[in-house]
Amino acid sequence: MAPDATMAPADDMLREPNGVSDAPLTLQRAVLDYSARDERFALDKKIYGQYFQLYFQRLMLLGPRLKQAVGAKWPGVPAVKVLDLKEGEECVVMGTLYKDMKLKPSILDEYVKEAGAKASEVAAKKFVSDDDSLVLEDEGARVRLTGNGIAVDCFVTGVVLAVKGRVVANGEFEVDEICYPAPAPQATRPRATEEATAGRHVLLCSGLRVGDDAASSALNLELMCDYVTGNLGGANDQGVAASIARVVICGGALPEADVPAQSLDGRAQAAVARPLRQLDVLLTTLAASVPVDLMPGDGDPTNQALPQQPLHPCLFPEAKRFSPQTFASCTNPHDFTIGGVDFLGTAGQNVSNLAAYSNVVEGVEGGAGDDDAGEALDLLEATVRWQHVAPSAPDTLACYPYKDRDPFFIERSPHVYFAGMQPAFGCRKVRVDDVETTCVAVPDFSKTGTVVLLNVDTLECHAVTFGR
């Protein structure tokens, strides 16, 4: 250094850049009132019976709302029973659909066993053919439906509806128009306050597949966890993370086991149990920062028939310490209210089953999301119009043989209706009469690395993708 050179004072050299404050970033986790309404999905006793009782209860529960809709849509047109139909007279008939399908497996479990295929692989196939036909059945008899007023492909067994038309010479009922039950009442959603202009969010995710051997899946999980807990991204990202008031895991939290653990030796059983321990660590990390709802899904260690019961707390010895404050093991379907907004959702079995046994094509007009989510949104919209979460149960979708109720009919219209394990993210506003429902397709995280952030104040939602 030259003798005449001068140095700046040490304090000036260590001075932080202009515009940077040394004050720490202080964020507070959003808190919203929460209550679950899963009582109707809980099994407090063993259920035995015949499935016809479930169909009868479904018709009795939706019948009054169907009569209301028929009276408003077709005033003056007489409603008659199937046994009272007369050839050539215009009338309305109300009942439950039965879809005669030539390709439908007679015993699905045996089909899967003989074919050596997984249930998910079978569900991905289409059993729809041009030879399919529809039959409408009321309390006393049934009649075959025909005509251009009803599209066979768009329906499944178990849908309750009304048809207007007439009996033709061959004894079939020629349909001119159809009508669905009136929507269930919907609670008034609270208006957003000035303090909530930035929005409070619920994070919806599914298909985490914790313990999957794929390195990319493990990295995406870690990134997602760091994001939710506020340890990832800049100030804006951390601000959004702080606005997440609840995380809902919509099924598929564990990898599907190819072989039951009972048939494995001790070392192999330990390998099967390893994902459970890893999931426990993930849930503990999340629950320490934000409330978490865990829904079971297809392949998770609980009953496979709907409604699926909560995963047992003993599976998560560390996470259960946060129960019931910030960790809840829930049923599938899951019905809850947060911040005055009603949510109803499934782990996606109802959507995948409908996709296998129907071709519902309504388009994606007014929706947002990837084209791959179009079919899922169409099916969600269809179940909203049918006023039933799982109409194909018990015909092609396994469920318990309820004899005094049907827990799957929509008795309270949700503001948000979601389904997990979908191929891509999608969101659509569905309006039936004066009731609007936001339908959300929650993508499979193990395949997409994507979760959904839903704004509780505006019901707008967008996808957040990790690792891509």
**Domain chopping of the chain, boundaries:** 34-47+185-465, 52-179
- Alpha helices, DSSP H, located in 243-293: 266-287
Quick one: tokens of 161? Answer: 């509806």
Domain 34-47+185-465 grouped into CATH 3.40.50.2300: no
CA distance 441 to 369: 9
Q: Distance of CA 152 to CAs 67, 95, 145, 223, 227, Å?
A: 23, 16, 9, 45, 46
For residue 42, how many other CB atoms are within 10 A of its CB? 11
Nearest to 346 by CA among 301, 410, 429: 410
**Domain 52-179: which topology?**
OB fold (Dihydrolipoamide Acetyltransferase, E2P) (2.40.50)
Tens digit of pLDDT at every position of the chain (468 positions): 444 444 445 455 445 555 445 555 678 899 999 999 999 999 877 776 678 899 999 999 999 999 999 999 999 999 999 999 999 999 999 999 999 998 888 655 555 555 555 555 555 578 999 999 999 999 989 999 999 999 999 999 999 999 999 999 999 999 999 999 999 999 999 876 655 556 899 999 999 999 887 656 889 999 999 999 999 888 888 999 999 999 999 999 998 765 554 555 566 666 678 899 999 999 999 999 999 999 999 989 899 999 999 999 999 999 999 999 999 999 999 999 999 999 999 999 999 999 999 997 644 444 455 567 889 999 999 999 999 999 999 999 999 999 889 999 999 999 999 999 999 999 999 999 999 999 999 999 999 999 999 999 999 999 999 986
Cα–Cα distance list, 90 to 143, 160, 175, 279 (Å): 15, 20, 10, 60
Q: In what order do the strands lie in the sheet with 341-346?
A: 34-36, 334-338, 341-346, 416-422, 435-443, 426-432, 367-369
Please tell me the distance from the alpha carbon of residue 397 to that of residue 347, in angstroms, as a whole number. Answer: 13
